[in-house]
Structure 1
C-alpha cells in the first residue's frame, strides 16, 4: 500500500503543468484541490484517474492528471489522456443551432417539424402545440428523458440517425411543450438531426467544420482513431456497485442514437478551447447568440439553450456536466472572472463531486486575483 501511494504521488508530480498567470495564492489553492482529488482517488480504490485543466481569460494556465489511466496497469494518467465528455456534447449541438440562427436558416421558435417531419410520429404529437428548436435545446419540449425502445443506446456510429428515427415513435410526453423543464436525451438527439437537416450537412461534419477546425481542437473526436486508442483512459462503469469495463469498450463502436447529446471524446486541455469560445475568446458566436443561450425560456429551470446556469453571490457560471458508461465530466466557466475549469474522470461514481470541485476552484481562484 505504501508503494502504491508513493507511485500515485510521483505520478501526480510529473503530470502537472503550469502555463503562466499563476500567483502563489492560486498555486496553493490548486495544490490543496489536487491533494483532495488524490485522497478521493485512493478512497475510491478503483485505480482510476481525474484530469483537470484551468483556464484564465484566453489560455490554459494549469493542467494536471491524477491517478492511473488503466485499471489493471500502473500507467500514470497524464494530461494527454482522452476521455468521453458525455452530455457536454449538448453544448456543441446548441452552438450549431445558434450558428444556423445567425445565418438565417433557423429561427429558435420555428417548429422542428419544418426540418424533421418525422417528429410528428411522437406519441400524442397532435394533442399539443408544435415543438420548437428553443424547447428542444432547453429541455422544455415536454419529452421524457429516454425513448421506450430496447437497444436505443446500441448501434454503430454511422447509423445514429436511423436509430433516432426509430426512437421517435417510442418517445412519450411527460408534460405539455413549454410547460416544464425535463431533461431529455432523445430530445437533444432530435435537435442535432433537425439542425443537420436545416444545414444540409451531416451533424458530425458540422461539428468538425464549424467548431473543431476553427478552434484547432485536434484531440476531440466522435470516432476515436486507432492510433489514439493507447491514449484513452480506460472507462470503468461502476454505477451499480460493480465495475464493468466491457460496456465502455463496446461503446467505442457507437452509442445508438446518443451522438448529438453525448458522443464526443476529448481531453481537458482541448475542451478548454471550446469553453473559451463560449466567452468569446475566440468568438464562434456573436455576443447576442451567447446571451440568448443563457436565457431561460418559459417553463425552464436553470438551463438556457444547451447551457446549465448557476449564479450565486460569488459566481456566474455557465457550462455543463456529462456522464456516460465509464466516464464523467464537468465544464464550468465563471463569466465574472474569466476562469474556467474542466474535469474528466474515467469512472462514474466516486468520492469527488466534479461540479462541487469545479465551483470551489472557480470561487477560490477568483479570490486570489
Structure 2
C-alpha cells in the first residue's frame, strides 16, 4: 500500500495503491520536522527562548546532566545526547522487533524521563538523536500547556495523530509490513511521538505541504538552516537542507518497522513531494527523483514511478 503526492503552484496531484487519500500511515522521523515547527512556533509566541533548557519544563533529575540541555541544541541534533536512552535497552528491543515484529517504542513520558535519568552527555557536535527530539517535543508541549499530540494538531493541523496505544488506532490506520511482507506491530507510544510516532494520511500531508509552501504554516523558521550536519548538508529545526542537482531541497525521511516515508520541498519553485509506503525500506531515491523531475520539466513525472514500490 502506498500514497504519493506532488504539490505545485498549479495544483495538487495524488496517486494511491491499495489504499485511498484518507488512509493513515506511520510517517516515522518526518515527525521530527513537525516537532521542529512546533518548537519554532513556541519561540515565535514567546513560550520559550533560545536559552530555555529541558529542566525548565520537564521534571528531570536536578543533579543530572540532561536538565541543563538547551532546547535550541536539541532542535539541530547538537545536544550531546545519544541516539536512544540506554535505559530503554535498545538492543534488546531491536531484537524483539526483527524477530517478533514487536513495537520497540511503547513507553510513556514517565518511562522516558526515568530512562533519561542517568544519561551522560557527549561532545556537542552533530549526533542524530531520537531521544533528543522526544524530549524536545514533550518540553515544548509542556510550555504550551498541552500534550504533544494536541500541540501538533493545534499548530499544524487537526488531522495529524499521535496514538499512544493500539486502542487509539482506527479502521483508516494502515498496518505496515517488513521487507519480507510480515505484519509489524504499530509504533505507538506517548514517548516516541515527537521523534517518530505521528500518523498522517496523504491528504493531510498535502494540506501540510501546501501551507508550508504558501507561507501560511506556523513555525516556518524551522526550515531555515542554522548549522551543518555534515559539509554541504544544513539543518534547521529538524528539517535538512541540501543542494541536489543544482536545486536547494528541504527534506526529511522516515522509517518504522513497517513503513517508509519521504517529504521534500523546492521552496524556490514552490513544489513539494510526499511519499508514504506501508513497507519498511528506503524511498529516498523515489522522493528526490519525483521532486527533481517535476521542478526541472514542469510536467507530472512518469506516473509509472508512482506505484508504491520502494526504490531499489
TM tier relative to shorter chain: 0.7 to 0.9
Residue 171 of structure 1 pairs with residue 109 of structure 2: no
| 2:301 counterpart residue number | none
Correspondence 1:336-347 to 2 at 5 A: 336-347=268-279
- SS of the residue 2:60 aligns to: helix
Do structure 1's residue 364 and structure 2's residue 304 form an aligned pair? Answer: no
Correspondence for 1:296 among 207, 210, 227:
227
Measure the CA separation in 2 of the matches of 1:233 and 1:186: 26
Match of 2:6 among 48, 54, 75: 54
* 1:314-366 per-position Cα deviation (integer Å, ceiling 9, x unaligned): 321112111111111101111121111100111113xxx42211111111111
Matched, 1:270 2:204: yes
Contact 2:55 2:62 in 1 (8 A): yes
* Normalised TM-score (structure 2): 0.80
Q: Larger Cα Rg: Structure 1 or Structure 2?
A: 1
Cross-structure match for 1:149: 87
* CA–CA separation in structure 2 for the residues paired with 1:266 and 1:52: 13
Contact 2:25 / 2:174 at 8 angstroms: preserved in 1? yes
Partner Cα separation in structure 1 for residue 257 and residue 147 of structure 2? 26
Residue 258 in structure 1 maps to residue 192 in structure 2: yes
Work out the CA distance in 1 between the residues paired with 2:48 and 2:229: 20
Residue-pair matches, total: 285
RMSD over equivalenced CA pairs, Å: 3.0
1:231 is aligned to 172
Q: In the superposition, relative to structure 1, how do residues 199 and 309 fare at CA in structure 2: closer, same or farther (>3 Å)?
A: same
Whether the 8 Å CA contact 1:160–1:259 is kept in 2: the answer is: no
1:1-369 equivalences under 5 Å are 49-57=1-9, 59=11, 61-66=12-17, 76-118=18-60, 120=62, 122=64, 125=65, 130-150=68-88, 160-173=108-121, 175-177=122-124, 180-213=125-158, 218=159, 220-223=160-163, 229-238=170-179, 243-245=181-183, 247-249=184-186, 251=187, 254-255=188-189, 257-285=191-219, 289-290=221-222, 293-296=224-227, 302-349=234-281, 353-369=282-298
TM (norm. structure 1) is 0.68
Residue ranges of structure 1 left out of the alignment (5+ in a row): 1-48, 67-75
Per-residue deviation at 1:281?
A: 3.9
Distance 1:143 1:58 in 2: 43
What SS does the corresponding residue of 2:260 show, helix, strand or coil?
strand
CA apart distance, 1:235: 0.7
- Residue 12 of structure 1 is matched in structure 2 by none
Secondary structure at the residue paired with 2:171?
helix
The 3 A distance-change label for structure 1 pair 221 and 333 is same
CA contact (8 A) 2:205 2:274 kept: yes
Runs of 5+ unmatched residues, structure 2 = 94-102, 299-312
User: C-alpha offsets along residues 144-185 of structure 1, whole Å, 9 cap, x if unaligned?
Assistant: 10111246776997x621122122125343x322xx111111
Q: Deviations over 1:75-124 (max 9, x none)?
A: x33333321001111111111111111111211243332223516565xx
- Greater shift after overlay, 146-155 or 317-326? 146-155
Q: Secondary structure at the match of 1:237?
A: coil
Q: 1:114 to 1:256 in 2, by over 3 A?
A: closer
The aligned counterpart of 1:4 is none
